[in-house]
A and B are shown apart, each in its own frame.
Chain A
Amino acid sequence: MRLEANGLRSGHGNVPVLHGVSFGVSGGEIVALVGRNGAGKTTLVKTVVGLLRVTGGQLMLDGTEITRLAPSGRVRAGLRAAFQERSLFSQLSVGDNLCLNGYPTETHEGVLDMFSASLAGRAAQRAGSLSGGEQKMLTAALALASSASVLVMDEPTEGLQPSNVEMLGDRLDAARNSGRGILLVEQHLALATRVADRFIVLEKGEIVDSGSAGDHNLADRLAQHLAI
């Protein structure tokens, strides 16, 4: 297992949100974490990344425990996340954002080229002035271009136009094939059903269902879990 959570508990302030969540992500695997609004998906992402304190349970990355590590320590240990919102320094330029994420200037164009031509040559632009979709792509690119062994993608398709969702799917495929583990957090199924190897369903801070992409009744089960 590249990323492993055992009985993970955490919450906001004194409100417990995750009541003991266990899952694992292997190398060369995309695990889709799905669940309704308010199920605790973003809390889970923030806990894995280290922005929320773990109040119980354990987190392992490539066999080392990272439960008590600061977020920056987890990044160095090989964990990268693309957040759903507030994922870029919007006041700073695109190039500054790349620098801050550890990309030397000469690599910038390569990272920006990752998603067709729409971001290329725009390193000097303020990140906040990119369109919503472009910000999403930049966020994804910052994670995907890194050498991290585990990627956590929080709703990367939200607000992305269909052709770009396709492209994101290709990049995720490529990242998986290079042996990385990917935790894909999604509220909607379009991308997840295309690329994910396994599914886990979160509800009220607990994992209530899980299955492999091959399970014959999976689609129905997921639809049921995600219905309003």
Chain B
Amino acid sequence: MRAASPARTGCGDLNTAETPEHSPLDALTLELLNGLSLFATLAIVALGLGIVFGLMGVINLAHGEFVMIGAYVSYVVHANGLNHWVSVPLAAAVLFVLGAFIELTLIRRVHRQPEITILATFGLSVCLRQAVELVFTKDFRGVPNPVPGATRAFGVLFPTYRYLLIGIAVVVVVATLLAFTKSRFGLTVRAIVADRELAEASGIRTGIANFCAFGIGAATAGIAGALVAPLGAIEPQAGLPYLPGAFLVVIVGGFNRLWGVVAGALTVAAVQTGVIHFYDTVWAQIASLGLAVLVLGFRRISVEETPT
């Protein structure tokens, strides 16, 4: 049952566009589009993880659940007869509030101890999954594709919604990263990343910045969830498959570097698409895992554990 669910295979399912007969060049184009689609999903899912980790040093194991809740927002919007696109900003808003609430009540108490954080968010992910299950049951929900059909471009047919997803995800990722590099808040964030002590001593309230960062990280996960909602079944476990891919992106892209999310997503998407082309999704997962171990081997990790 689980294998049959398209959502279970996570990012990989986005690579199963219909592939009728076509020339080798078209096949390559299609592969590239699939890769691009995978990249966009990986990047937007990993974005929030990267922000929260880069700024606060917090590994959020409940990030996949944020994505899943974003998808449920989409479902609720659909169930109330509203337009699917309403759910994208709505999911961002709902998840911002949820993320900020979790930062205030939980993360704030533990965020100076990386190991405790990882455990706390591990437990949090169980709570969120179960809470959603209580409300919506385990049944698979779905959101119809708001833009059915395919577009012919570059000589191949490719689902129109997928083009939109790539576009929106890239816009959200780039806009968020630009906001972090160009705005006043972004300046504050970069100051905190560069030197938390000095930032605090310069009068910057780092606690508030943490609160916002966690909220924004959750909000981007919400957008990701709303965007992928029409592509697979929505169920309480739907967030889990996103976690490995997103963490691989963050590991490969580098901790503490916001634009690393883009670089990491590109690398992982390229490796996975390439391997999927020749083998299958499992080998793709194994290959990117190997890549992560290699990257870790070659780079000193700048996550310092606080000595006790």
Contact = CB atoms under 8 A, between A and B. Distances in A.
B188 interface: yes
A51 B190 contact: no
A72 B203 contact: yes
A14 to B, nearest CB: 10
Contacts of B197: 51, 71, 86
A91 interface: yes
A81 interface: yes
Contacts of B201: 49-51, 71-72, 75, 81, 83
Contacts of B191: 89, 92, 96, 100
Given A89-B191, A92-B190, A72 B198 contact: no
A72 B206 contact: yes
B203 A102 contact: yes
Interface residues of B, number: 19
A75 B102 CA distance: 28
Contacts of B204: 72, 100
Contacts of A90: 194
B203 A91 contact: no
B198 A87 contact: yes
A101 B184 contact: no
Contacts of A88: 198
A142 to B, nearest CB: 8
A72 B307 contact: no
Nearest to B208: A72
Interface in A197-216: none
A99 interface: yes
Nearest to B207: A70
Nearest to B190: A92
A92 B203 CA distance: 17
Contacts of A63: none
Contact of A86 (B188, B198, B307): B198
A86 B200 contact: no
A71 B190 CA distance: 18
Contact of A72 (B184, B194, B200): B200
B202 interface: yes
Contacts of A76: 203
Residue from A71, A83, A87 having most chain B Cβ neighbours under 10 A = A71
A100 B188 contact: yes
Contacts of B205: 70, 72
B195 interface: yes
Contacts of B188: 100
Interface string A40-56: 00000000011100000
Interface of B: 184, 187-188, 190-191, 194-195, 197-207, 307
13 contacts: A50-B200, A70-B205, A71-B203, A72-B204, A72-B206, A75-B203, A86-B197, A89-B190, A89-B191, A89-B195, A96-B187, A100-B191, A101-B202
State the 9 A-B residue pairs at the shortest beta-carbon distance, nearest first.
A75-B203, A71-B200, A71-B201, A72-B205, A72-B203, A100-B191, A101-B202, A89-B194, A72-B200
